[in-house]
Chain A
Amino acid sequence: MPCLYGRGVDNPWLSLDYLRRSGGEVWDQLVIHTSLTLQAVLIAAAIALPLAIVARRIPRLSGPILGVTGVLYTVPSLALFGLLAPFTGIGRTTVLIGLVSYALLVLVRNIIVGLEGVDRDVVDAARGLGYRRTRLLFTVELPNALPSIVAGLRLATVTTVALVTVGVVVGYGGLGQLMFRGLQSNYRAQIATSTLLCLALALVLDLAIVLLARWAMPWTRTGGRRARRRAEAARADAAAEASA
């Protein structure tokens, strides 16, 4: 589309007219953006959980695991897409691999921090009751590590929503696609609308995880403990943030 808005022509940042005319397209990209985010975070979590458990059980491997995920985290998304595109082609797969590799570090680190933060007395009590390692892990340690894991999931989800937009370089950036096209055709409403939708999506997904976590951790709902858990989660959050 050529430049429709020249000098002196009205080019508002927000316009309902844009939504009325291109609502279908906006919705399509929003769906792509959301599904890509959820898929990436779920796959990353499925990889991060065993990695974190292995890193904790076999201390010799924790260095390499954190090192590799750290390198994947440091490599910029654009460079990663440049490295992947020659082999995985243009499109969804490349973006998905990039997003998963980026979310790994945050999740692995937060799961490890969570597992390490479990009260030693609780673990000892479970051992005294005759719990074996696997059962101890799934019924005692992991549930107690949930606040930190949830903090990691929230951080990973919010950053992934923002990162999807970079997929525009391989032609699959969800709402980023609209931002980029809006820039090329100097269509401000398109840029502003997709930006606001990105922020809203991050907010909604974050809220969804919080609500899900409240439902999954009924013991955190009461006053005194909640404050403590929150402090714990905040600490894990800060640790993950500072590791960036």
Chain B
Amino acid sequence: MSTVGDAWDYLTDPVSWTGENGLFGTNFDGSLRFQRDSILALTLEHLYMSAAAVGIAAAIALPLGLWLGHLRRGGGVTTVIANVSRAMPTLALLTLFAASAIGFGNRAVIIAAAIFAFPPILTNAFTGMAGVDADVRDAAFGQGMTRRQVALHVELPLAVPLIAAGLRTSVTQTIATVPLAALVGGGGLGVIIVTALATQRYGEALAGGILVAALCLGIDFGLSRLQRRVTPAPLRSRATVAA
């Protein structure tokens, strides 16, 4: 089939990987720019945007989730946040931000993706901390440990499997969200699909779909291995049930 042939040609052409003008350029204001005609540059941009979004989300959600989970308070709020974020279309938030003062481009995408990366980290950090056996907690307090010690040396290690699961969900979801950036003038691998569909070059759309799908599945697989490694062996079966 010619579509498949086109996709093959696109993927095997070295120029579509490196681009005609190299991977990077400079913007008018001298800042670094990823070239949009190179698969490698788009992949790097994709990863950069995802990392920024998850980084921002984790910096707020992790401490907040750990703290609320340690106090065992605010479970209702975390559930509501998770539910509302599920009903909110990603495209809606992207277009709202792009049309607001934030403007078109990667910044709007990173903020929107960070908002969607937030709930899984928060919920899992909360559940992990709040789900620690009350007896274990009491025993730790009974030994004279301070609140801080109980939180950091007793609850946190026991919560690691769930926290890791939350981070994994969040990263996978963010990498799957960032392709939409192409619709609001941002970068990342979605550019290939959106441009190809708009210009009816279906071979490239197919190739772009394969690239994005491969990136997501690859990262998810890698993270699942990592998640297994940070989970102590006795907790593994429990973590997979919960995750």
Contacts and interface: CB of A to CB of B under 8 A. Distances in A.
Contacts of A182: 95, 99
Contacts of B173: 244
A74 B176 contact: yes
Interface in B151-196: 165, 169, 172-173, 175-177, 179-180, 182-184, 190, 192-194, 196
The interface residues of chain A, by DSSP majority, are classed as: helix
A99 B202 CA distance: 20
Interface string B196-223: 1100001101101111110011001000
B161 to A, nearest CB: 11
Contacts of B83: 158
B95 A83 contact: no
B213 A162 contact: no
Contact of A166 (B90, B99, B165): B90
A138 to B, nearest CB: 27
A9 interface: no
A208 B75 CA distance: 25
A199 B217 CA distance: 29
Contacts of A56: none
Contact of A82 (B180, B196, B241): B196
Contact of B89 (A78, A86, A186, A198): A198
A198 B216 CA distance: 27
B92 A194 contact: yes
A43 interface: no
Interface in A192-209: 192, 194-195, 198-199, 202-203, 206
Interface in A86-115: 86-87, 90
A200 to B, nearest CB: 10
A84 B206 CA distance: 8
B54 to A, nearest CB: 15
A244 B170 CA distance: 9
Given A191-B92, A195-B89, A195-B92, A78 B190 contact: yes
Interface of A: 71, 74-87, 90, 155, 158-159, 161-166, 168-170, 173, 176, 179-180, 182-183, 186, 188, 191-192, 194-195, 198-199, 202-203, 206, 238-239, 241-244
Interface of B: 3, 7, 82-83, 86-92, 95-96, 98-100, 120, 123-124, 127, 165, 169, 172-173, 175-177, 179-180, 182-184, 190, 192-194, 196-197, 202-203, 205-206, 208-213, 216-217, 220, 241-243
